Structure formats: structure tokens, C-alpha cells
Amino acid sequence: MRVVHGADSASSPVPSRVVLRPLATPLPLGFLGLMVATTSFAAVQLGWVAPDQGRFAAYAALLLTTPVQLIASAFGFLARDPVAATGMGILAGTWAAVSIATLTSPPGTLSPGLGVVLICAAAALAVPGASAAAEKPLVAGVVLLSALRFLVTGIAMTTGAHGWLTAAGWVGLALGVASLYAALALELEGVHRREVLPVLRRGPGAEWTATREEPGVRAQL
């Protein structure tokens, strides 16, 4: 069916309307999931719990961390923040791989194959981490510390050296503290519409704090 508009309709301008749907930052969700996974595995690597208890860390990473980081990645793309989207996507996939390898291997196993995967994941995380360093140092710091955590763990897996495994546990604990702080700082900022704890934004990443724009409307999360 063809619709023919009259002359008046053709000459009259059709009003356009742009609707913006504010989006809350997904980074606190992803960082809290990261805190659970890295701290749980660190406790196993440091010998604070028995190796056979590593399956509980794996279940937590697979059933909690991976889903929430996938959600954070999806909303990062919707908010047009490539650092949040890419970083959370890589983290989600890496934790899923670590979890499945842990659940299908004997307790305490150091897998060289998994070590190679972790080293590659560390290199992949360096891309969003380095990209965010100039404008969002806090977010970049968490992402790059995640890369270091996977790198050290990967070296421990490929070499079989328990000294490297202990180092990975301590880096994992440091990452847990950093991710918890970052999640709290960003969550408080979203609730109070102002910076409560330092988030260290610079340049375009600091626009929302200065202009009080809604999340999802500002240039970056």
C-alpha cells in the first residue's frame, strides 16, 4: 500500500525527537564480581584453604563473576565506553576459563595450557588498561592489575614454580582491595551525583562530575 501525502503535509517539517535513556555505570558490578573471584582464588594460592576447596572459588567465579561481568560488558557497549566493555568482556571469559579448568582438573593442579591462556589474557587486558590510563587512572589501574594477576598466575602455571603461585596470590589480594575500592568510589559517585571518594578522572572522563550530567549521557563512564 502506498501512502501519498498532500502538498501541505509534504511542505510541513516533521518534528524530530531524541530520547536519551540514562544508564548507570556497570563498572561497580563488574569490579565487585572481580573482587569475589580474585580473592577466593588468592586464598587457595596462598594456602589459606586446602587445594580441594578451590572448587568453591571456581563455582563463585563461574556462577557469580562471569555473569555480572558479561552484564557489565554489555552495558559498557550500550554506554559507548570501550574500556568498560572490552575490559569486562575479557575478564568474564578469562574467569570462566579458569573456573572450568579448576573444576575439571585434580585439586592443586598447575596446568601449562591454562598458563598460556592466562598470559594471553594479560596481554589482551593491557589494551583497555593502557587506553584508559590517561583519563581514568583508577579504572586503568584495576584493569592493569588484573593483567598482572593473570600474568603472574600464568607464569606459575607454565613453570610449575610455587614461588610464582604465592606471588600470584598476593597480587590477587591487592587486586581484590583495589577492585573493592573502585566499586565503592564509583557507586558512591552514582548515588550522590558527586565525587565522594577520589576516582581520579581527567579530561573528557571528568565531564560528568563537572556538569552533573546523568550517567549514559556523559562522554565516558
Whether 35 shows a pLDDT value over 50: the answer reads: yes
Q: What is the mean pLDDT of the chain?
A: 84
Joined grid coordinates for residue 209: 562530575
* E strands present in the chain: none
For the CA atoms of 155, 156, 157, 160, what is the dihedral angle to 10 degrees? Answer: 120
Q: How many CB atoms lie within 10 A of CB 111?
A: 17
**The model's pTM:** 0.82
Domains of the chain: 27-211 (1.25.40.600)
CA–CA separation, 150 vs 121, rounded Å? 7
Q: What pLDDT score does 36 carry?
A: 97
CA–CA separation, 218 vs 60, rounded Å? 33
CA–CA separation, 70 vs 52, rounded Å? 27
Q: What pLDDT score does 117 carry?
A: 96
> In this predicted structure, which of 6-15, 77-86, 101-110 has the lowest mean pLDDT?
6-15
Q: What percent of the chain has pLDDT over 90?
A: 59
